Amino acid sequence: MKRVPPKTVKRKAKPRSTKKTLTPGKILRYSLALLVVSFLVAMAYNYRHGLLYYLGFKSNKRIEALGKKEERKITDLRIYEIVSRHKDKVFGIDVSHYQGEIDWDSVHKGSNDFPLKFIFIRATAGKNSLDRRFKTNWQKAREYGFLCGAYHYYRPNENSVQQADNFIKNVTLKKGDLPPVLDIEQIPSKQSIDSLKSGLKRWLDKVERHYGMKPVIYSGESFYTDFLREEFKGYDLWIANYSFFDDEIRPEWLFWQFTDRAVIKGIKGDVDVNIFNGSQHQLKSRCKR
C-alpha cells in the first residue's frame, strides 16, 4: 500500500516590527546632537545683540572690513555684544607707536559704538626705551579732553630700579591724570620668578613714592593668576582677556581689555578697547589731585 506523505501546514510568518530599536550608540549620538543644538541656541541668545547687528537690524552702522571677512564678523559680534552689556560703564583705548600717526580729531569725534573717555599711552619700555610717539600722543590726547594715563612695559631681564627711573624721567603726571600703570606680560629667562616679583615690587614702590599714587598692574588673566595674584593682591588690576565666552567685567577688575581687534576711526589697524569698572565720576575720582 502506497503511503501518502502527510500534508505540511505552512505557518504564516509574523509581521516584522516597524519600531526601530535605539542602541546605546544611537542614544549617545542623539544626546550629543541635542547638546550641540542647545549650545548653539544658548550662544545665539547670549549674543543676540551682536547677531541682530549682522542680520541688518542696525543697518545704519557700518564697520570697516579688516582681515578675513568672517573672522571680522565674529570679532565684531563679540565687541558689540560686550558694549551693549556695559552701557553704564566707561570705555577707553590704549595706544603706542604701533598705531602709527593717529588722527586725534577723528578719534575725538568717534562714534556712538565706542564712547571713548580715557586713553592709556605707552610711555617707556625697559631701562632706557621711550616710545617714539609718546610725547605726541600724550599731548594730543590731553588737548582733546581725554583722561590720560601712561604705562611702562616691563622687561623682566632688566634692572627694575633703572626701569622705574626711565618711567619717572619721561612721564610727568598732572592733576586729572590717571594712575601710572605697570605692564608685565613675560616671565624672565635670566632670573627666577621670585626675583621677578621682587623687581616688580621695587618698581611699584618707587613709582608710587614719586607720584603719590598707587600704580595699576596690567597683565593677561592667565599670567596674573599663575604668577602674581598672591603677592600683589593690594593693587588695582587692568586685565587683558579676549575669550569669546567672557562677556561681563568681573568685580575684581578695575579695567578690562576685552579686545585687541577693534576698529576706531582715526587709527589705522586694530586697537585695544578697555572698560572701566564704574562711572565717569568714579573714574575721575581715581585721577591725580
Angstrom CA distances, 253 to 44, 54, 150, 238, stand at 27, 30, 18, 6
Q: What is the C-alpha end-to-end distance of the chain, expressed in Å?
A: 131
Q: CA nearest 172: which of 235, 123, 215, 101? A: 123
Q: CA nearest 216: which of 228, 111, 227? A: 228
- Residues tagged active-site: 185
Q: CA nearest 287: which of 90, 183, 148? A: 148
| Half-sphere exposure for 152 (CA within 13 Å, toward CB) | 30
How many Å apart are CA 203 and CA 164, to the nearest integer? Answer: 5
For 157, the grid coordinates are 631681564
Q: Is 240 helix (H, G, I), strand (E, B) or coil?
A: strand
How many Å apart are CA 199 and CA 182, to the nearest integer? Answer: 12
